[in-house]
Amino acid sequence: MPSVEIICLRQVEPLQFDSLPFAVEAESMLISHRLPSHFQSDFDQLSGCIYHLGSLELKTTHPKGAYTAYYI
């Protein structure tokens, strides 16, 4: 199962959610981690932050790797 991606339009700096019971990677550029990205052309026309949500164990096993939302 892929990750969950949430965008916050016009948000300048991403918030940190380190204490949540799942992994969150936050970025200030709207770049999807999904390949192929069906929405990247839309994201390119917007500004804001993106949050990639995934299973908690990915915080330690793949801190910058592929996130999946299988256990969320």
- d(C-alpha 44, C-alpha 72), whole Å: 28
Model pLDDT, residue 22: 86
Residue 32 lies in a domain: yes
- Total number of domains in the chain: 1
Q: Give the residue numbers spanning the domain of 16.
A: 4-61
Model pLDDT, residue 9: 97
DSSP 34: S
Residue 22 lies in a domain: yes
Model pLDDT, residue 15: 95
- d(C-alpha 32, C-alpha 21), whole Å: 22
**The whole model's pTM is what?**
0.82
- d(C-alpha 54, C-alpha 41), whole Å: 23
The one-digit pLDDT tens for each residue of the chain (72 residues) are 567 899 999 999 999 988 888 888 899 999 998 888 899 999 999 999 999 888 887 666 665 555 677 777
Model pLDDT, residue 47: 97
Residue 18 lies in a domain: yes
